[in-house]
């Protein structure tokens, strides 16, 4: 997957997890938690959705890599390079 495809996948996951949030105006370098009302369970749901949809295993100690859109894409890009959309 490309960086743009990963962004779209993350936006899709966020819209499923937080359907009442406006995600159309997400800032790339600002933490999701600072932009959206996400709690720790929502954040865990993001990790679980990535695992379910794309078979991406994210170790707990690396969850902080998924803080913002830019850090999430940077972290996932090499791991999802061979994933088909």
Per this entry, what is the length of the chain? Answer: 85
Q: Whose CA is closest to 66, among 42, 83, 37?
A: 42
CATH superfamily of 3-19+26-76: ACP-like (1.10.1200.10)
Domain range list for the chain = 3-19+26-76
d(CA 2, CA 37): 27
pLDDT digits (tens, 9 = 90+) for 4-45: 999 999 999 999 999 988 888 899 999 998 999 888 899 999
Tokens of 65: 């890599």
pLDDT digits (tens, 9 = 90+) for 49-63: 999 999 999 999 999
Q: What is the pLDDT, as a whole number, of residue 16?
A: 94
Distances (CA, A) of 9 to 6, 35, 61, 75, 78: 5, 18, 22, 14, 15
């Amino acid at each position: 997957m490309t960086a743009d495809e990963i962004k779209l996948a993350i936006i899709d996951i966020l819209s499923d997890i937080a359907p009442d949030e406006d995600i159309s105006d997400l800032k790339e370098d600002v933490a999701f938690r600072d932009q959206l009302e996400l709690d720790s369970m929502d954040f865990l749901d993001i990790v679980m959705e990535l695992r379910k949809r794309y078979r991406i295993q994210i170790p707990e100690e690396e969850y902080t890599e998924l803080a913002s859109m830019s850090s999430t894409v940077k972290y996932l890009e090499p791991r999802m390079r061979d994933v088909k959309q």
